[in-house]
Amino acid sequence: MFISHVDSGLEKLLRTRLPLPEEMGDVSFDPPNGTWSAQLSRITVNLFLYDIQRSSQPSAPSVRTPETGPAQRRRPQPMVQLGYLVSAWAGSPRDEHQLLGDVVSIFAAVEVLPEPLLADGLSSSVRLSLGDTDNRVREVWSAAGGSLKASFSVMATVAADSFDWEIQPPAVDRISAMASRMDDERHA
């Protein structure tokens, strides 16, 4: 479910910052192959999810206190990195380059997706970065069956919703120790 929340947040970011209202253009998550691109009739920014892997970024345990009931805790969620191939589709290569430049500028300026753009229930913020450390863009285009075109990668790091909330045990407020001398019996 967290992937669809990230998709939605990325689309809202582009629609509000470009701006790209729904009546003017599309934000798509389809594989950018020849069949798909032949059907395009409007300006489109494509965010194709091509890679999912565990991130080395650490996560902290979470604690929340509901208005009623006991405090709850959640084990640290594993962090996942989602790799998106971002491309622009417009009437001409010059228009595509202009649109792609605008999209790159937006993603370069945003390190964390703003909270108002995210759906409720997401376990963490969504961190964004440009580029793919393995530089697999050419491989993705080849595997999708499309011809190579100007594009870039956006990596989104988010917590996977792996562990449920549990009731937090009561806090320890006092520790006491009792001790006796063991050498008392030998000296008696």
User: Global pTM?
Assistant: 0.79
Mean pLDDT of 80-92: 94
The answer, yes or no, to whether residue 182 has pLDDT greater than 70, is no
The answer, yes or no, to whether residue 135 has pLDDT greater than 80, is no
Long-range contacts of 173-178 (CB under 8 A, 24+ apart): none
CATH architecture of 2-57+76-163: 2-Layer Sandwich (3.30)
Count CB neighbours of 153 within 10 A: 21
Let me know: does 44 contact 25? Beta carbons within 8 Å: yes
When mean pLDDT is compared across 1-10, 112-121, 129-138, 176-185, the lowest value belongs to 176-185
**Residue partners of 148: CB distance under 8 A and separation at least 6:** 138, 141, 142
Q: According to the model, what pLDDT value does residue 170 have?
A: 72
Token duo for residue 141:
């285009």
The answer, yes or no, to whether residue 5 has pLDDT greater than 90, is yes
Reported confidence tier of residue 119, pLDDT bands at 50, 70, 90: confident
For the chain, the structural domain boundaries read 2-57+76-163
Q: According to the model, what pLDDT value does residue 9 have?
A: 96
Let me know: does 102 contact 18? Beta carbons within 8 Å: yes
* Nearest CA-CA partner of 126 in 30, 55, 21: 55
**Residue partners of 168: CB distance under 8 A and separation at least 6:** 63, 70, 71, 72, 73
Q: According to the model, what pLDDT value does residue 176 have?
A: 77
Let me know: does 79 contact 57? Beta carbons within 8 Å: yes
The answer, yes or no, to whether residue 7 has pLDDT greater than 60, is yes
Mean pLDDT of 29-51: 91
Mean pLDDT of 118-144: 78
